[in-house]
Amino acid sequence: MPEKKWTKKIKAAFIQEQLETFFPETPIPLDHSDPYSLLIAVLLSAQCTDERVNKVTPHLFKKADNPFDMVRLSVPEIREIVLPCGLSENKSKAIHRLSEILIEKYNGEVPKTFEALEELPGVGHKTASVVMSQAFGVPAFPVDTHIHRLATRWKLTSGKNVVETERDLKKLFPEELWNKLHLQIIFYGRKFCPARAHDVEKCPICSAFGVK
């Protein structure tokens, strides 16, 4: 199909079809058992691979898989466990303090609104979006640097940051698909569309769009 016929709307439909073909199932990459453990795992995943987080969290959750047990640990104790995830000083402080806040304000439960989640230490919009979508089933489109990169590569957005990219993707794709699509795009990027050593010929979406 000539390049000029690839409108954003047609691209979105094609991408949706390809993602569903390759990744009909979208297991959540971060191991967790409830909203709290998902929240902690997503927080730890900042600038860290999901694989590494999944190696660290079993040790952390064995000691504390809920905010009441977590606050009994000191920040240095938490930091020693989460050290392999990087940014351990900030992450350990955030985990301890947000656990205190969950107890103080929410009876130990993870709140179910974007606003409340984003007020927690160490929890930005992307982390809140993951928790809202994957723990509570609320439509959200968490955009990390990988999704931002692919959306830009596919010219679905001219967004200069993840906020603008999120806005553009939400306009292009049906709301009922957001929660699944964000995982499908991450999986697709890992398998077919890496940042480096990208083989366009082996990337079904980029080769169709004529991406260089």
**How many CB atoms sit inside 10 A of residue 131's CB?**
28
For this structure, is 91 an active site residue?
A: no
Domain of residue 15: give its range.
3-27+141-209
72 and 12 share a domain?
no
172 and 109 share a domain?
no
pLDDT less than 70: residues of the chain? 1-4
Would you state the pLDDT for residue 196? 87
Domain count, the chain: 2
23 and 51 share a domain?
no
Would you state the pLDDT for residue 2? 45
46 and 124 share a domain?
yes
Q: Given the residues 65, 91, 126, 180, select the one marked as catalytic.
A: 126
* % the chain with pLDDT above 70: 98
Last residue of a domain, one of 99, 134, 169: 134
pLDDT tens per residue across span 100-149:
999 999 999 999 999 999 999 999 999 999 999 999 999 999 998 889 99
Beta strands in the chain (DSSP E): none
Buried b (16+ CB within 10 A) or exposed e, 147-179: bbbbbebbebbebeebeebbebbeebbeeeebb
Q: CA 159, CA 112: separation in Å to the nearest integer?
A: 28
Q: Given the residues 144, 160, 168, 202, select the one marked as catalytic.
A: 144
199 and 145 share a domain?
yes
Last residue of a domain, one of 105, 134, 163: 134
Would you state the pLDDT for residue 211? 83
For this structure, is 126 an active site residue?
A: yes
